[in-house]
Amino acid sequence: MSASILIINSGSSSLKFGLFAADSGDSLCRGIIDWAGETGHAELRLTGSSLAEFKQPVAVRTHGEAVDVALRAMVETSPLNAAPASQIIAVGHRVVHGGTLFIKSVLIDERVRTAIAELAALAPLHNPPALAAIAAAEAALPGVPQVAVFDTAFFSSLPPKAFVYPLPYEWFTDWGVRRFGFHGISHAYCAQRAAEILDRPLRDLRLVICHLGNGCSASAVSGGQAVATTMGFTPLDGLMMGTRSGSLDPGILLDVQQRRGLTAETLKHVLNHESGLLGVSGVASDVRQLESAAQAGHARASLALEMFADRVRSSIGALAVTLGSVDALVFTAGVGENSSGVRAAICEGLECLGLRLDHDRNSSVRPDADIASQDSVSRILVIESREDLMVARETSRILRLPSHDFGDCDNF
């Protein structure tokens, strides 16, 4: 079997992974391991190129353990006949925060690891797991080159008016306080895929892309370049999310510190883990559970979903004005791809932007597809987010591997 590229995407308590053929770009297998806190209980799910699926409970407590389990499943026990371990010639990692130092993908060395660690304060849920996965992959595959692909890189094209905050300018020049933007790998892929679906050059398109999962962000992309995004200095900014607050009045934080005695550490935990859909509903951060609760008459679950749709809709409007017009609105990631109810709620009132939803298409769609009505001036697309494919493309490009079918990465 041909040589392969291993792709690793480290979440706060999950590990997504996959193998791609280095010569053709074909996906050999994809998988995920989810674990809950410190219980050690997790499930491995592995899907092969034939779409056959393998599931198995596994004992995992750390990202390092998860990498070892993933490798054994893919290349040793090989339930789906993936490539053997000796064939892995490169490893690509999604890394959330690259700051201003990494505006392109890079080969990982000690300097890069140190910089990723220093940026962990700005992405505490993601950069440390990425470092753990890098170390585990290096131990399991000694001598195999590893590449870091940064979520922030796609937003390095933001103009100053979009990345400078209205704070004392010295905070930007001296302390590096600025908008970075996140989910860039997903936004970059969706921009390219939208051009393919619409059969139009990416350079001619103005897109609003909504990455809606447990973490959420929206971007304005013009000619393949990001010109605005909702996430900011950290992944806390912007849209309401599963457990994160998104944008709010900073005076609230000052008030609860001064009058209620909340510490900075407590606020950090609340804003990251106890806010958003979970905080408002008191039920769950998972949209599927909230939709079930709302249908059963749970008022706070309904309110959380209404607030979520309203905030996304407002951001779409702002981004559309930034672009001047919209050729297509894109929904992607777990919620964006799978919740027809959320998409419908968000699209209510967007007719003024030339975006008219076809409700029948929306209710039965599978990515990748157009769910706009025939008379809609602009298109509404549902696109499967393929961060793994983008990381594979970038890894191949950085290492100059003889790949032929990974696609064009010029706009990333």
- 151 catalytic, yes or no? yes
Q: CB under 8 Å to 231, separation ≥6 — which residues?
A: 179, 180, 181, 182, 183, 217, 237, 238
Residues for the chain: how many in total? 412
Supply 325's token pair.
């017009």
Which residue among 26, 151, 255, 358 is the active-site one? 151
Strands 146-150 and 88-95: parallel
How far apart CA 221 and CA 190 sit, in angstroms, is 10
DSSP secondary structure letters along 124-137: TTTHHHHHHHHHHH
Give kind and range of the element (H or E) at residue 307.
helix 299-323
Instruction: Show the 3-state SS of 159-184.
Output: CHHHHCCCCCHHHHHHHCCCCCCCCH
DSSP-H helix ranges across 12-159: 63-71, 110-118, 127-140
**How many Å separate Cα 130 from the centre of its chain?**
14
Q: CB under 8 Å to 278, separation ≥6 — which residues?
A: 242, 243, 284, 285
Cα atoms found within 13 Å of the Cα of residue 52, Cβ hemisphere only: 9
Cα atoms found within 13 Å of the Cα of residue 91, Cβ hemisphere only: 27
Spatial strand order in the sheet of 216-222: 225-229, 216-222, 206-212, 328-332, 379-382, 369-370
Supply 118's token pair.
């220093």
- Which amino acid type is present at position 255? D
Residue 351 carries which DSSP code?
G
In 3D space, the residue among 164, 167, 175 whose CA is nearest the CA of residue 121 turns out to be 175
Q: Which residues are catalytic?
A: 151
